[in-house]
Amino acid sequence: MDKKVSDGPPVAHYDLHIDGRDVPCDRVMDSFNPYTGERWAVVPDGQESDIDAAVAAARRAFDEGPWSKLTATQRGALIRKLGDIVARDAEILARIECNDNGKLYREMLGQWRYIPEYFYYFAGMADKLQGDVVPSDRTNFFIYTRREPVGVVGAITPWNSPGLLLVFKLAPGLAAGCTFVVKPSEHTPVSTLELAKRFKEAGFPDGVFNVVTGQGTLGAALVKHPGIDKVAFTGATATGKRIAASAAQNLTRVSLELGGKSPNIVFADADLDVAANGAIAGIFGATGQTCMAGSRLLVQDSVHDELLERIVARTKEIRLGNPMDEATEMGPVANEPQYHKVMEYIDVAKADGAKLCCGGIGDPDLGGFFVQPTVLSNVTNDMRIAQEEVFGPVLSVIKFSDEEDAIRIANDTRFGLAAAVWTQNIHRGHRVAHRLRAGTVWINAYRVVSFATPFGGFKESGLGRENGVDAIREYTETKSVYVELTGEPRDPFKLG
């Protein structure tokens, strides 16, 4: 419901979504549009008691509700219906996310138009999830396995692509038969609450999808709740470590999609125009606020100066502005703490000896949370700017001498989310890709993901995989069933 609560533009009000109903909350928090700086929505600031209620609803739905009695084919049909509704409403959902996180409308619209494909892909997988008949080592036993849903999932999401990163969890989890309690980022809670309305419309039983909005402490309460069976988290590595430690108390399963410091490696034999374009896409797409940002550009020394010149020239032309305008290439960073973090990292890099080639300041005309796209050269891999995730439009350019040197520098990081190799030598492309310690490697491309392809991190970039067939395994347990065939009593003191 939209109503005017102040002299500003109309502000949207939302309730929690628990057990198929909108549930008002005593405490609320404001959601601000990072471009206009205006409050545009008021959402619940949920409490632990709300988490208890949401988990209880998801538990009931999983253990005994109508959802638990559906066939896998019927589950698939509901998921497909949800995909159709999201496809119909992609523009509305994209606009909501722009209001919340300031990313470009065309990027968010692209995401919401692609999200139905995740629902369709996993809807089709729901009734193809099968166990095995195990070749038994005993003549008197028939043994088979079942793939059963892991149970109630607590999903916790970040602010950069709230819908897409939730659907990475939701589509395979629903297909497997799980139920959900979702805690979206306090900075971008609205699209998840809007998605809840579409669950209702698609005909999902109550309690399958519950949303509790609030601060990080609420996420912590969800993780330690004994009523959940799995935590599916996307966010910062430091938060992921806290979650893993807390989940370990109940041995709750976890999948973690965390941060990165991904190397984008350009060899001298690359097509430099294409590579320069890929470097720009890798770091300035989404204002650098993607886990897979190509924030370390490794360039072979013989083409370093030429490539740097091209990148700096194009970076200076990047059009900053209103995320809703078709012509805008980069919006603001998503919130004030993030703005200060980015600016501090630029100062740290300069103090450590990096050379500022362009950017490095806020935007004098646009103000707000705009940061001019920034290129730093003379970076060495031991500097903080090369080792720590900035999560903003800051590119660090590092020189390398040969293939061994490139691989050494690329892997010299605690992260391992993604990497790219730019070369026209097909042997080198594959050879280097195989030696990079990262969950995704692109050859002559950057920032491509697909519902059909596993995505996740090596090392401190995460645990488990989202997307593709691998993802649904994260939402199932394997059960082995032994059937005795003779009906004869056996020696009770002998195993088997």
User: Of the residues 25, 98, 178, 291, which is catalytic?
Assistant: 291
- In this structure, what token pair is assigned to residue 177? 């038969």
Q: How far is the CB of 36 from ligand NAD (least distance, A)?
A: 21
Q: How far is the CB of 334 from ligand NAD (least distance, A)?
A: 9
- In this structure, what token pair is assigned to residue 67? 């959802």
Nearer to ligand NAD, 259 or 263 (CB): 259
Alpha helices, DSSP H only, in 17-146? 48-63, 66-69, 72-88, 90-101, 105-126
User: What are the DSSP calls for 386-422, one per residue?
Assistant: HHS---SSEEEEEEE-SHHHHHHHHH-SS--SEEEEE
Of the candidates 128, 149, 40, the one whose C-alpha atom is nearest the C-alpha of residue 479 is: 149
End-to-end CA distance of the chain: 63
Nearer to ligand NAD, 33 or 255 (CB): 255
Nearer to ligand NAD, 183 or 198 (CB): 183
Tokens 């050269």 map to which residue? Answer: 377
Helix crossing, 272-284 with 301-316: angle to 10°?
Answer: 60
| Integer CA distances (angstroms), 53 to 87, 106, 203, 219, 446, in order | 31, 37, 21, 14, 42
| Integer CA distances (angstroms), 26 to 49, 206, 371, 413, 429, in order | 12, 23, 36, 45, 57
Nearer to ligand NAD, 282 or 429 (CB): 282
Residues that bind ligand NAD (CB under 6 A): 156-160, 165, 183-186, 216, 219-220, 223, 234-236, 239, 242-243, 257-260, 291, 389, 391, 417, 457, 462
Nearer to ligand NAD, 156 or 265 (CB): 156
Tell me, yes or no, if 291 is annotated catalytic: yes
Q: How far is the CB of 165 from ligand NAD (least distance, A)?
A: 6
Q: How far is the CB of 156 from ligand NAD (least distance, A)?
A: 5
Q: How far is the CB of 390 from ligand NAD (least distance, A)?
A: 10
Q: How far is the CB of 138 from ligand NAD (least distance, A)?
A: 45
CA 383 to chain centre: 27
H/E stretch holding 238 reads: helix 237-248
Tell me, yes or no, if 38 is annotated catalytic: no
The Cβ of residue 337 has, within 10 Å, a number of other Cβ atoms equal to 11
Q: How far is the CB of 295 from ligand NAD (least distance, A)?
A: 10
Nearer to ligand NAD, 235 or 323 (CB): 235
Cα distance between residue 45 and residue 359, in whole Å? 37
- By CB neighbour count within 10 A (0-12 exposed, 13-18 middle, 19+ buried), where does 492 fall? exposed
Nearer to ligand NAD, 156 or 178 (CB): 156
Q: How far is the CB of 291 from ligand NAD (least distance, A)?
A: 3
User: Of the residues 257, 389, 403, 460, which is catalytic?
Assistant: 257
| Integer CA distances (angstroms), 423 to 5, 267, 402, 430, 486, in order | 57, 6, 13, 10, 64
Cα distance between residue 382 and residue 152, in whole Å? 42
Nearer to ligand NAD, 134 or 236 (CB): 236
Which residue has its beta carbon closest to ligand NAD? 219
Q: Which residues contact 255 (CB under 8 A, 6 or more apart)?
A: 169, 230, 231, 232, 233, 456, 462, 463, 464, 465, 466, 474
| Integer CA distances (angstroms), 78 to 67, 69, 177, 337, 470, in order | 10, 14, 11, 39, 22
Positions annotated as catalytic residues are: 257, 291
